[in-house]
Amino acid sequence: MSGFHRVVGGIVPPSSWGGGNITDDIFDCLVEDIQPNDTKAWPATVRELLVKIRDAEIQDCPGLDQLVETLNDPSRYTADENNKSAPARAIVTAPGAPADEHREMKQMFSSAPAARVLQLPQPFREVVQNSMLWKWEGGQGRGTTGTMATLFPKDATQDVSFTIRCGHNDGYRLNDTYGFKLAFSS
């Protein structure tokens, strides 16, 4: 069994880890199992997960910091297994799919002029006007609406989300119209 499986298989999920619960040497067996001349790169998803755990769940853990640095060090991937005298080469991993990125929201914009809803193309205009929020805002005599919003991530290289609010049944109708597939359910 690899060091990664020995460690990960025997500990609690990262979301329940807290300060003081993990010793600095917990990742030592992983670091020791990574051979300096090993040309096999760990999958990008594993490296990305470890970075996310380090940044969000376990801060100030030198063992995890060393593991992440070791895995991301291109000098680890130096020799071709068939030709030990081959020149050093770095393995470049393709970036992950944008939909798989960890996104933290930096800003949300809303409260657009209500008249802007009339500029939306169909079927979006109709479904927004059918929403409970739109009807409530109209009953309050508001000149702005919260039925449309933009979400800007902290990372400027990530896409901005544009969100509309619509009625429940209209939401399912939009799913059918545009062929959306269930991505998550709770």
Same domain, 12 and 70: yes
CA 52 to chain centre: 9
Closest CA to 150 of 106, 102, 113: 106
Which residue range is the domain that position 130 belongs to?
105-178
Same domain, 139 and 168: yes
Same domain, 74 and 20: yes
The residue assigned the tokens 């030198």 is: 62
Helices 44-52 & 62-71 angle (0-180, nearest 10): 150
Phi, psi dihedrals of residue 107, rounded to the nearest 5°: -140, 150
pLDDT tens profile 26-75 = 556 555 665 544 556 667 777 777 777 777 767 677 777 777 777 777 66
Same domain, 84 and 115: no
Does some domain include residue 184?
Answer: no
DSSP one-letter code for 122: T
Same domain, 83 and 116: no
Q: How far apart are CA 158 and CA 161, in angstroms?
A: 10
Where does a domain end: 61, 95, 129?
Answer: 95
Indicate if the alpha-carbon torsion angle 124, 126, 128, 131 is positive or negative: negative
Which residues, listed in sequence order, are joined to residue 153 by a DSSP beta bridge? Answer: 105
As a whole number, mean pLDDT of residues 119-130 equals: 95
Does some domain include residue 75?
Answer: yes
Phi, psi dihedrals of residue 57, rounded to the nearest 5°: -105, -45
Instruction: Write down the pTM of the prediction.
Output: 0.45
Does some domain include residue 100?
Answer: no
Does some domain include residue 49?
Answer: yes
As a whole number, mean pLDDT of residues 124-143 equals: 94
Number of domain units in the chain: 2
The residue assigned the tokens 């063992």 is: 63
pLDDT score recorded for residue 119: 95
Helix, coil or strand: residue 150: strand
As a whole number, mean pLDDT of residues 136-154 equals: 92
Highest mean pLDDT of the ranges 65-79, 114-128, 146-160: 114-128
Does some domain include residue 148?
Answer: yes
Does some domain include residue 154?
Answer: yes
The residue assigned the tokens 């359910």 is: 185
Same domain, 89 and 127: no
